[in-house]
Amino acid sequence: MRGFDEVLDDLAEKWDNLNDVEQNAVATAMAGVRQRNQFLALMQNYDQYKESLESSRTSSGTADEKYAAVMDSIATSMQRIQTAWEGFTQKLQASGFVKGFFEAIAGVVENMNVILPVMVSFLSTILVKQLPALGAKIDDLFGQPIRKFGSEAKELFKGKKEGKTAADYYKESSEERLRKA
């Protein structure tokens, strides 16, 4: 059985020798009533169709080649990274750095019962010596606002005992501030 493209090639060779009635009859037989016009357009532009088909065949090969080159480039780059990493880790292990690092960590963990009390004592000593200075700095930063808040809270509670509301207190406090300004 012949392929459809072979039938079209043979028909295209004879297409120009057919009259309009014969072309319409062949188009209707090949494509049906609904697709007849598309078939007529294909046969009238069959040379252009063949050129486009050939171009797509050759360009897909080019695209495949370019894709393969890109993938080869990526694979090569990844291989270089992997090789460099393996070389780095081998040199690192050979240097004894990794072994020394893990031995130091193991020593700290093994002696934690001795190190921890010494560290607590050391930090406590530093904290006791520095606590007054730290307290003074905290007082410098927050002392004034905290004292002011405390006195205002004291006045508010005093006013509550006298039957005043918080709104009354803030109204009096605002008026007093304005008089001072």
Q: Going residue by residue through the chain (181 aa), what tens digit of pLDDT does each one get?
A: 788 888 899 999 999 999 999 999 999 999 999 999 999 999 999 999 888 888 877 776 677 777 778 778 888 888 889 988 988 888 877 777 778 888 888 888 888 888 788 888 887 887 777 777 777 787 777 878 777 777 777 776 666 656 666 666 667 666 666 676 5
Burial class from Cβ neighbours inside 10 Å (0-12, 13-18, 19+) for residue 125 reads exposed
pLDDT of 138: 77
Question: What pTM did the predictor assign?
Answer: 0.35
pLDDT of 26: 92
Q: Please tell me the distance from the alpha carbon of residue 131 to that of residue 124, in angstroms, as a whole number.
A: 10
Helix (H) or strand (E) segment spanning residue 112: helix 112-138
Task: Name the token pair of 47.
Answer: 């040379």
- The number of C-alpha atoms within 13 Å of 139 and in the hemisphere containing its C-beta is 6
pLDDT of 34: 92
Q: What does DSSP assign to residue 1?
A: -
pLDDT of 161: 58
CA distances to 7, 54, 128 from 118, in Å: 96, 84, 15
Q: Please tell me the distance from the alpha carbon of residue 142 to that of residue 62, in angstroms, as a whole number.
A: 74
Q: Please tell me the distance from the alpha carbon of residue 88 to that of residue 68, in angstroms, as a whole number.
A: 30
Length of the chain, in residues: 181
